Structure 1
Amino acid sequence: MSSDWQLVVQPPVALTVAELLLRLILAWQVVWGLVAFVAMWRDKGLAAEGQGRTRTPERELHALEARGGWLGSWLGQRVFRHKTRKVAYQRVFRRIALVWALADVLIVAGLILLPAIFN
């Protein structure tokens, strides 16, 4: 019996500094996004109980968003229907999200354009 397939082992590909930076930024935002999502879930659960238990202060939720968890917070707001009608909260959240979205666009654009400029 002969086998028609072969196992091909590829050597690891070295990442450029730009690729490594992009992956680190993405990992940073994924981790903080998960933390913010869980915080939103926990706070919604405590709010629904209404037992007077200590909830997560809004400034802490905003701090998680500002650290990079804005997308996880946004998803948590939608999934759990939490903090979506609080105008003051949404005003701060939208500013944080806008800053991160702009930063992400600038980072990606820079990582695409800079190598083209220097090559």
Structure 2
Amino acid sequence: MSGDWREQAVNRMRSLILEAEPDATEDVKWRKASNPDGVPTFFLDGLICTVETYKDKIKLTFAKGASLDDPNGVFNASLDAGTRRAIDVLEGDELDEDAFVALVREAVAANRA
């Protein structure tokens, strides 16, 4: 995956998460033969989100996404899930970065509630 658009997208999401919440920590979970890099997982007072890499997209899954206000419609996946919500980013997609940062901040606020 080195150097491809997915790696660049994951690095950009990592930067935005840490911009939103500089005290957030990143851990890598679920390493396995089919995914030796594992899944970047971000925490602050609880799980914020995971960032999974697939062949055709990256998926950011917010643990408590269903309870977050998303006035800009950033969530575009797992919309019928009971607790979580996700954002699928495909090659060439333009993410509303300000709205994404707001979601990260709201996720941390939900963790603290």
Shorter chain as normaliser: what TM range?
A: under 0.3
The answer to which structure, 1 or 2, has the higher relative contact order (CA under 8 A, 6+ apart) is: 1
Greater strand share, structure number: 2
Q: Whose Rg is larger?
A: 1
The normalised TM-score by structure 1 is 0.26
- Flag the structure with higher helix content: 1
